[in-house]
């Protein structure tokens, strides 16, 4: 039986609610069709089967090279309907290698086409060169907030006259590197990169000329002696001091007493002992102290915790225990893995 | 192309790219064709004004092949898409991790989980390239990856070690692009073997060696003065860089056997764990950008079985790395990134018990270097299909890393052929991820 498309659409149109594409058709496409008929970019680069994409309005209406697959108003001229309505044993039945869609699903698609294939507000994957309203907005929420440490540097640098190039060159000496913490800031970050092994107390003393401008000082792995920290005592704006892997002792920390802006103190792998606990506790603004591989005892850590409950005390790290299945030796002495 | 070939292509740097990277990284010579040497368009190291930086260095852990978000750091307990993978509460209130990350569950307070990463590239080569460079793969140009941008814009810190190192492959993606070849990463094939051939040959005394180098400089000098172009300089630089490396006090940084056994054991005995340990040693010596690659995440088949193999070494190495960096005070200004080219389909491919490529909504991690720990940024729906809050495009993600490093994301740099490029293309930094 062949029903005139005009007659059919008229007949159905007169009746109540039409098929809702989003609610009724799209779930079928998503569940049974789109896996093989979608954008290669979302499918491991695989081309859509039969050159047909069903993941967007534009693509469904475009059909394949051999022509449209949906003729609005005429299911019987629509290949999409034809191929899902074939007999179960027909080799061309879609989806392939299955019993096909359920009768109700086939009927939904037939009715939807017969009613004129209305997509509602659905667009799906956009046509080439267009963007889909279904794609979430690409701009994340802007927040004007600056990182906390940067805000601190802005405050500390206010009203300070920058060091002159001559002062900077003299302070840096042959091994040092002094750089503004950000462009335009009079505050300086100081370190001795690539020459730690050749950097000693004298090099650090050179920093005196710019002492009031230095906010971060990295002396990690240098060969400084305790006396080197005498110059650090003049760094009234110092926020971060890194002394890791040096030979400094408790005698060095005496020099830190007046550093009222110090937030972070790194003593990892130094010779400081429990004698320094009271000194560390008196650094008012200190937020983090690193004490792993020092001679400070658990009792010392406990004491510091008591004195400064909010201070972040980093000592023994929570490192993973050795693997159980690690290499073992069997009787023949050969290494093998469990 | 068969699946096996796909896997192979996704995971292994080809011999040619390896050799290219080796030549470029170790010897400072690029084999990629360059347009006319408009060297004037390229400025010197560190000449570009930086912004406020919260991080100085990056350890970039790359999960090659596309890491499943649901089975790692964005589980959706109770959802139909979750499959058999269970999840654990971490030490951060809002963060759960999959059962394969019991160690990381104790360190999520240091990590920002970015759950809403969105890419438009669904194939491996294209996705990896996009993730590394923020630009789509094109036939006509090679874009620099983040590590190259950092060294180019901010300059190297350690003058005797390379500023950019790639461990366990990754040479193809970590790239100097159109920048001078010295920004190419130094490739380290195996962390255990460290840097090979960095000592004077046996039987060549220091005196003879110096005399040879002196002759070389004499012979090259006139030519170099007459043809002072980027390519010619690159050949000269290659010797000078190799010499300063041979002479570096920091060469030990490449030798992980110098670490105490307890530390080596904590990172694990597999290549990824060793790579992470080497990365830590290198950044301790102010190498700016170290990438470590973990292969094998392309779990189209037997996804759930494979997770049990793939995740534990990452769980171990990442926990060890974060704890170790923190205890040394280095996590304050070292950003640790865990990235992948795309995620995997929430829908389980029931025929093969696998998950396929899914660039639409996936998960990457950021930690340290000013990043707020213990939080989740962005949200996907209950089953993980769609981003429903705070989408972060690949370009935004890279812009966020660049922002932490103080690299100006608006700055336009011109390639040798005169085209403008930016460090993270059109990405906008997500400042909300910083403390």
My answer on whether A227 and A107 are in the same domain is: no
B1: contact with A, CB 8 A cutoff: no
Indicate whether A322 belongs to any domain: no
Q: Which of B383, B310, B401 is nearest to B392 (CA)?
A: B401
Indicate whether B231 belongs to any domain: no
Indicate whether B243 belongs to any domain: no
Choose the most confident range, by mean pLDDT, from A84-88, B11-15, B382-386. Answer: B382-386
Indicate whether B39 belongs to any domain: yes
- For the segment B90-119, the average pLDDT, to the nearest whole number, is 97
**Confidence at residue A31, expressed as pLDDT on a 0 to 100 scale:** 86
Mean pLDDT of chain B, nearest integer = 85
Preferred mutation among B313, B326, B329 to probe A, highest tally of A CBs within 10 A: B329
> Which SS3 state, helix, strand or coil, does residue A12 take?
helix
Q: B298 or B31, which is more confident?
A: B298
For residue B30, is pLDDT > 70? no
For residue B204, is pLDDT > 90? no
A27: contact with B, CB 8 A cutoff: no
**Confidence at residue A12, expressed as pLDDT on a 0 to 100 scale:** 45
**Confidence at residue A144, expressed as pLDDT on a 0 to 100 scale:** 61
Residue of chain A whose alpha carbon sits nearest to that of B378? A140
Cβ <8 Å between B265 and A326? yes
Angstrom CA distances, A13 to A119, A122, B74, stand at 16, 21, 47
Residues of B in contact with A288 (CB under 8 A): 329, 332
Tell me whether strands B96-98 and B87-89 are parallel, antiparallel or unpaired: antiparallel
Cβ <8 Å between A244 and B328? yes
Other Cβ atoms within 10 Å of A324 Cβ, number: 6
**Confidence at residue B380, expressed as pLDDT on a 0 to 100 scale:** 97
| Cα–Cα distance, A305 to A311 (Å, whole number) | 7
For residue A336, is pLDDT > 60? no
Residues 90-129 of A with CB under 8 A from B: none
Residues 183-212 of A with CB under 8 A from B: 183, 191, 193-198
DSSP B417: T
Cβ <8 Å between B357 and A42? yes
Indicate whether A61 belongs to any domain: yes
Preferred mutation among B328, B344, B345, B372 to probe A, highest tally of A CBs within 10 A: B328
Q: Which of B136, B114, B142 is nearest to B375 (CA)?
A: B114
B222: contact with A, CB 8 A cutoff: no
Cβ <8 Å between B329 and A242? yes
My answer on whether A199 and A284 are in the same domain is: yes
A11-25, A193-207, B255-269, B387-401, range with the lowest pLDDT: A11-25
B299: contact with A, CB 8 A cutoff: no
CATH number at residue B301: 3.40.720
Task: Look at the pTM and tell me if it is higher than 0.90.
Answer: no
For residue B56, is pLDDT > 90? yes
My answer on whether A157 and A297 are in the same domain is: yes
A26: contact with B, CB 8 A cutoff: no
Q: Which of B344, B360, B430 is nearest to B73 (CA)?
A: B344
Determine the distance in angstroms separating the CA of A46 from the nearest CA of chain B, rounded to an integer. 9
Residue A200, burial from CB neighbour count under 10 angstroms (0-12, 13-18, 19+) = middle
Determine the distance in angstroms separating the CA of B226 from the nearest CA of chain A, rounded to an integer. 32
Q: Please give the full DSSP string across A83-144, using - where no structure is assigned.
A: HHSS-TT-TT-SSTTS--S-HHHHHHHHHHHHTT---TT--BSPPTT---TTSPPSSPPP--
Indicate whether B34 belongs to any domain: yes
**Confidence at residue B170, expressed as pLDDT on a 0 to 100 scale:** 58
Minimum-distance CB partner of B435 among A39, A45, A147: A147
Domain count, chain A: 2
Q: Which domain holds residue A75?
A: 5-114
- For the segment B289-304, the average pLDDT, to the nearest whole number, is 96
Indicate whether A130 belongs to any domain: no
Determine the distance in angstroms separating the CA of A328 from the nearest CA of chain B, rounded to an integer. 12
Cβ <8 Å between A153 and B396? no
Residues of A in contact with B392 (CB under 8 A): 140
My answer on whether A260 and A182 are in the same domain is: yes
Cβ <8 Å between B329 and A314? yes
- For the segment B104-110, the average pLDDT, to the nearest whole number, is 97
Preferred mutation among A147, A221, A239 to probe B, highest tally of B CBs within 10 A: A147
Query: Of A114, A137, A166, which closes a domain?
Result: A114
- For the segment B272-284, the average pLDDT, to the nearest whole number, is 97
- Cβ partners under 8 Å of residue A25, min gap 6: A19, A108, A109, A112
Indicate whether B220 belongs to any domain: no
H or E element in which residue B400 lies: helix B394-404
CB A282 within 8 A of CB A311: no
Cβ <8 Å between B357 and A44? yes
- Cβ partners under 8 Å of residue A331, min gap 6: none
Please report which confidence band the pLDDT of residue A2 belongs to, taking 50, 70 and 90 as the band edges: low
B391: contact with A, CB 8 A cutoff: yes
CB B346 within 8 A of CB B384: yes
Residue of chain B whose alpha carbon sits nearest to that of A263? B332
B53: contact with A, CB 8 A cutoff: yes
Determine the distance in angstroms separating the CA of A83 from the nearest CA of chain B, rounded to an integer. 23
Determine the distance in angstroms separating the CA of A292 from the nearest CA of chain B, rounded to an integer. 6
- For the segment B206-215, the average pLDDT, to the nearest whole number, is 85
Cβ <8 Å between A42 and B249? no
For chain B, give the percent of residues with pLDDT over 70.
Answer: 87
Indicate whether B76 belongs to any domain: yes
- Cβ partners under 8 Å of residue B366, min gap 6: B111, B112, B114, B335, B336, B337, B338, B400, B401, B433
Please report which confidence band the pLDDT of residue B18 belongs to, taking 50, 70 and 90 as the band edges: very low
Determine the distance in angstroms separating the CA of B51 from the nearest CA of chain A, rounded to an integer. 6
CB B343 within 8 A of CB B334: no
Domain count, chain B: 1
My answer on whether A218 and A269 are in the same domain is: yes
Preferred mutation among B52, B264, B346, B390 to probe A, highest tally of A CBs within 10 A: B52
Other Cβ atoms within 10 Å of A165 Cβ, number: 8
pLDDT digits (tens, 9 = 90+) for A246-293: 999 999 999 998 899 999 999 999 999 999 999 999 999 999 999 999
A55: contact with B, CB 8 A cutoff: no
Please report which confidence band the pLDDT of residue B224 belongs to, taking 50, 70 and 90 as the band edges: confident
Indicate whether A260 belongs to any domain: yes
- ipTM of this complex prediction, to 2 decimal places: 0.82
Cβ <8 Å between A42 and B360? yes
Determine the distance in angstroms separating the CA of B345 from the nearest CA of chain A, rounded to an integer. 10
Angstrom CA distances, B119 to A37, A132, A280, B344, B361, stand at 20, 15, 48, 12, 8
Tell me whether strands B111-118 and B362-367 are parallel, antiparallel or unpaired: antiparallel
Q: B331 or B46, which is more confident?
A: B331
My answer on whether A91 and A163 are in the same domain is: no
Residue of chain B whose alpha carbon sits nearest to that of A134? B386
pLDDT digits (tens, 9 = 90+) for A131-183: 554 444 434 444 567 888 888 998 999 999 999 999 999 998 888 889 899 88
For chain B, give the percent of residues with pLDDT over 90.
Answer: 60
Preferred mutation among A146, A319, A321 to probe B, highest tally of B CBs within 10 A: A319
Choose the most confident range, by mean pLDDT, from B195-199, B342-346, B416-420. Answer: B342-346
**Confidence at residue B352, expressed as pLDDT on a 0 to 100 scale:** 93
B320: contact with A, CB 8 A cutoff: yes
Residue of chain B whose alpha carbon sits nearest to that of A46? B123
Residues 59-78 of A with CB under 8 A from B: none
Indicate whether B372 belongs to any domain: yes
Indicate whether A90 belongs to any domain: yes
For residue B9, is pLDDT > 60? no
Indicate whether A139 belongs to any domain: no
pLDDT digits (tens, 9 = 90+) for A96-115: 888 889 999 999 999 999 88
HSE-up of residue B362 (Cα within 13 Å, Cβ side): 31
My answer on whether A12 and A82 are in the same domain is: yes
Q: Which domain holds residue B408?
A: 3-197+251-433
Residues of B in contact with A44 (CB under 8 A): 6, 122-123, 300, 356-357
Indicate whether B228 belongs to any domain: no
Q: Which of A140, A109, A208 is nearest to A168 (CA)?
A: A208
Determine the distance in angstroms separating the CA of A280 from the nearest CA of chain B, rounded to an integer. 16
Q: Which of A269, A275, A272 is nearest to A246 (CA)?
A: A269
Residues of B in contact with A97 (CB under 8 A): none
**Confidence at residue B49, expressed as pLDDT on a 0 to 100 scale:** 65
Determine the distance in angstroms separating the CA of A47 from the nearest CA of chain B, rounded to an integer. 12
B248: contact with A, CB 8 A cutoff: yes
CATH number at residue A225: 3.80.10.10
Q: How many CB pairs lie under 8 A apart between chains A and B?
A: 154
My answer on whether A108 and A160 are in the same domain is: no
A338: contact with B, CB 8 A cutoff: no
My answer on whether A302 and A169 are in the same domain is: yes
pLDDT digits (tens, 9 = 90+) for B147-171: 999 998 888 788 788 899 999 875 5
A322: contact with B, CB 8 A cutoff: yes
Minimum-distance CB partner of B370 among A147, A244, A318: A147
Please report which confidence band the pLDDT of residue B220 belongs to, taking 50, 70 and 90 as the band edges: confident
Residue of chain B whose alpha carbon sits nearest to that of A145? B431
B434: contact with A, CB 8 A cutoff: yes
pLDDT digits (tens, 9 = 90+) for B310-336: 999 999 999 999 999 999 999 999 999
For chain A, give the percent of residues with pLDDT over 70.
Answer: 85
**Confidence at residue A143, expressed as pLDDT on a 0 to 100 scale:** 53
């Amino acid at each position: 039986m062949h029903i005139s498309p005009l007659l059919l659409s008229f007949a159905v149109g007169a009746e109540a609610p039409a098929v809702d594409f989003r609610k009724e058709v799209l779930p079928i496409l998503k569940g049974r069709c789109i896996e093989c008929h979608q954008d290669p970019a979302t499918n491991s680069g695989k081309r859509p089967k039969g050159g047909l994409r069903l993941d967007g309005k534009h693509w469904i209406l475009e059909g394949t090279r051999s022509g449209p697959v949906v003729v609005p108003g005429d299911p019987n001229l629509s290949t999409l309907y034809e191929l899902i309505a074939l007999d179960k044993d027909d080799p061309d039945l879609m989806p392939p290698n299955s019993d096909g869609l359920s009768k109700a699903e086939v009927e939904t698609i037939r009715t939807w086409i017969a009613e004129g294939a209305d997509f509602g507000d659905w667009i799906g994957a956009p046509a080439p060169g267009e963007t889909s309203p279904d794609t979430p907005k690409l701009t994340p929420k802007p927040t004007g907030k600056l990182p906390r440490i940067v805000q601190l540097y802005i405050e500390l640098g206010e009203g300070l006259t920058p060091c002159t190039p001559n002062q900077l060159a003299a302070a840096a000496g042959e091994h040092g590197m002094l750089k503004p913490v950000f462009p335009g800031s009079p505050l300086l970050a100081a370190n001795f990169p690539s020459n730690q092994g050749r950097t000693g107390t004298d090099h650090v003393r050179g920093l005196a000329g710019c002492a009031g401008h230095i906010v971060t000082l990295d002396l990690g792995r240098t060969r400084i002696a305790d006396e080197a920290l005498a110059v650090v005592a003049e760094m009234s704006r110092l926020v971060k001091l890194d002394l890791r892997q040096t030979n400094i002792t408790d005698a060095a920390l005496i020099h830190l007493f007046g550093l009222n802006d110090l937030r972070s103190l790194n003593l990892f792998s130094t010779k400081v002992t429990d004698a320094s606990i009271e000194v560390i506790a008196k650094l008012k603004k200190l937020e983090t102290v690193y004490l792993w591989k020092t001679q400070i005892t658990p009792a010392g850590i406990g004491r510091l915790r008591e004195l400064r409950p909010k201070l972040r005390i980093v000592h023994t790290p929570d490192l993973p225990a050795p693997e159980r299945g690690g290499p073992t030796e069997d009787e023949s002495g050969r290494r093998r893995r469990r | 192309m068969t699946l096996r070939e796909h896997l192979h292509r996704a995971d292994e740097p080809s011999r040619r790219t390896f050799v290219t990277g080796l030549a470029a990284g170790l010897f400072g010579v690029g084999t990629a064709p360059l347009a006319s040497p408009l060297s004037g368009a390229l400025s010197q190291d560190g000449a570009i004004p930086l912004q406020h930086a919260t991080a100085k260095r990056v350890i970039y852990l790359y999960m090659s092949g596309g890491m499943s978000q649901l089975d790692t750091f964005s589980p959706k307990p109770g959802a139909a898409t979750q499959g058999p993978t269970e999840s654990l509460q971490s030490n951060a209130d809002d963060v759960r991790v999959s059962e394969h990350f019991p160690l990381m569950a104790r360190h999520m307070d240091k990590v920002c989980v970015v759950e809403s990463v969105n890419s438009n590239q669904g194939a491996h080569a294209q996705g990896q390239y996009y993730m590394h460079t923020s630009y789509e793969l094109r036939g006509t140009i090679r874009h620099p990856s983040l590590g190259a941008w950092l060294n180019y814009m901010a300059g190297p810190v350690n003058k005797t070690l390379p500023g950019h190192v790639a461990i366990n492959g990754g040479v193809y993606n970590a790239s100097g692009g159109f920048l001078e070849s010295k920004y190419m990463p130094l490739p380290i094939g195996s962390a255990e073997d460290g840097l090979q051939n960095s000592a004077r040959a046996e039987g060549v005394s220091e005196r003879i060696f110096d005399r040879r180098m002196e002759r070389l400089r004499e012979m090259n000098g006139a030519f170099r003065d007459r043809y002072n172009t980027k390519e010619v300089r690159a050949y000269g630089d290659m010797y000078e860089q190799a010499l300063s490396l041979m002479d570096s006090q920091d060469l030990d940084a490449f030798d992980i056997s110098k670490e105490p056994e307890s530390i080596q054991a904590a990172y694990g005995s597999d290549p990824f764990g060793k790579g992470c340990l080497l990365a830590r040693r290198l950044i301790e010596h102010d190498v700016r950008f170290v990438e470590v690659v973990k292969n094998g995440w392309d779990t189209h088949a037997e996804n759930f079985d494979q997770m049990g193999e793939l995740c534990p070494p990452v769980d171990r190495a990442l926990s060890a790395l974060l704890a170790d960096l923190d205890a040394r005070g280095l996590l304050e200004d070292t950003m640790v990134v865990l990235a992948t080219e795309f995620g995997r389909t929430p829908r389980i491919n029931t025929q093969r018990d696998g998950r396929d490529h899914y660039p639409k909504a996936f998960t990457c991690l950021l930690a340290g270097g000013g990043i707020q720990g213990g939080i989740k940024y962005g949200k996907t729906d209950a089953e993980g299909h769609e981003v429903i809050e705070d989408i972060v495009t690949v370009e935004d993600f890279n812009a966020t890393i660049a922002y932490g490093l103080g690299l100006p994301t608006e700055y336009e740099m011109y390639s040798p052929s005169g085209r403008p490029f930016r460090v993270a293309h059109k990405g906008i930094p997500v400042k909300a991820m910083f403390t």
